[in-house]
Amino acid sequence: MKYIAKSQWALPNILDKLERGADGIEIQLLNPDTEECLKLDYKIPEEFKILPIKCIHLPLNAQTDCNYDIETPIGQRAFIKSIILAEKLIDKTGSKMNIVCHMTQDIKTMNELEILDKTYEFIATQAMLHPNCNINIENVTRRTMGIYDNAVFARSLNLPNIGTVIDTCHSMISEFITGQITEYGKTSNEYYKFVTIEDAFKENKDICRWIHLNNANMDGGFYGKGKGHGVPFDINNKEDIEKLTKILKLYKTLDFKAPLCLEVREDNYLHSENFSKTRRACEEVFKNIGEY
C-alpha cells in the first residue's frame, strides 16, 4: 500500500513528509487574504518539478471571508489558477494530476439560487479543457450539504476525469450529527436521515478517485471541531484502531483503488509525527485484515 501525505506549498514541509516515507504529496494551497482573492498567482520553484506531487487541493475559506467553493465566482477563479498549476506539475510518467475541491451548498439550494446549471457547465468545461487532471469533489459534513451531493453532482456530469473524494473525518462527523438528530429529534426530514461511514463508501463506490484518511474526536469541544478535526489514528488507542479497521475493511471489501492520503493535523508541520503515527496504524491494521 502506498500512502500520500498532505503538505503546504513549502519545500521543508514536503521533504519532511518524504523522509518519513510518504509515497507522494498532496499540496494544500493556502488562503490568500481578501485583497489577494482576485489575483491568485502560483509560481513553481524549479526544485518542485522533480517532487512526487500527486494532487493539488484548492484554497479553503476557513481563515478568510473569501469563499473558494466551486459554485462561487471566486472559487471558480481559484480553480482555474489551480488546475493550470496542476498541469505544470504532472510528473514524467504521464499519470494524471488530481485536483481536490469543495462544494458546500447542496444541489437543491444551488438549483433554487439558479447557479446549479452554471456550476455543472463550469466543471464540465474545465474537465474537457484539462483531460490530464482528475477533478475530485470532496464530501463535506451534513451541517452544510447533502452527504452524497458531491457524488450526485459528479455522476450527473458523467465524464471520465470527474470523481469524488471521501474524507473519513467528514463522514464521521456526519454520522455523529445525524445520529444525534435522529436519536433526540426523531426527525422525518430526509435531509437529516442517519448516515454512516459505510454509506459514504457505498455511495461513492466506482466514482471515488481520492481518499482523505483521518480521524475525529471531541478534543475541540464538539465532535470533529477544531483540534478534534483531522486527527491521527493511534495504534495504542483501541477506539482508533476499531474505527480504522472498519474503514480499511470497507476500502478492501468494496475494492477501492483511490489513493490514501493521510490528511492529519500536526503540532509541528516540520516534524510530521502524526503522519508517521497514522501510517504505522494503517500498516498494523492491514497486517491483521490482509494486505490490500
Specify whether the CB–CB gap between 223 and 173 falls below 8 A: yes
Q: How many CB atoms are closer than 10 A to CB 114? A: 8
Specify whether the CB–CB gap between 165 and 214 falls below 8 A: no
The CATH superfamily label for domain 3-289 reads Divalent-metal-dependent TIM barrel enzymes (3.20.20.150)
* Range with the poorest average pLDDT among 8-12, 124-128, 134-138: 8-12
- Nearby residues of 225 by Cβ (< 8 Å), 6 or more positions away: none
Torsion of CA 126, 7, 265, 103, to 10 degrees: -10
Give 104's pLDDT tier (boundaries 50, 70, 90): confident
3-state secondary structure of 176: helix
**pLDDT tens by residue, 246-282:** 999 999 999 999 999 999 999 999 999 999 999 999 9
Distance between CA atoms of residues 66 and 84, nearest Å: 21
Q: How many CB atoms are closer than 10 A to CB 97? A: 20
Query: Which amino acid would we find at residue 80?
Result: I
The set of long-range contacts for 237-243, using a CB threshold of 8 Å and a minimum separation of 24, is 240/215, 240/281, 241/281, 241/284, 241/285, 243/172, 243/215
| pLDDT beyond 60 at 93 | no
| Residue among 112, 107, 185 at smallest CA distance from 149 | 107
User: Within the chain, how many helices (H) and strands (E) appear?
Assistant: 9, 10
Give 188's pLDDT tier (boundaries 50, 70, 90): low
Task: Supply φ then ψ for residue 196, to 5 degrees.
Answer: -120, 170
- Among left, alpha and beta (phi > 0; psi -120 to 50; other), residue 186 is left
Whole-number average pLDDT of the chain: 85
Specify whether the CB–CB gap between 265 and 8 falls below 8 A: no
- Nearby residues of 160 by Cβ (< 8 Å), 6 or more positions away: none
| pLDDT beyond 80 at 103 | yes
Burial class (CB in 10 A: 0-12, 13-18, 19+), 94: exposed
Angle between helices 116-129 and 149-157 (to 10 degrees): 60
Q: What share of the chain is helix, strand, coil (3-state, %, to 5)?
A: 45, 15, 40
Q: How many CB atoms are closer than 10 A to CB 93? A: 6
State the cell numbers at 92: 514524467
Burial class (CB in 10 A: 0-12, 13-18, 19+), 143: exposed
Q: What is the mean pLDDT of residues 190-207?
A: 82
| pLDDT beyond 70 at 142 | no
| Residue among 203, 202, 233 at smallest CA distance from 216 | 233
Q: What is the pTM of this model?
A: 0.90
**pLDDT tens by residue, 144-184:** 445 678 899 999 999 999 999 999 998 898 888 777 666 55
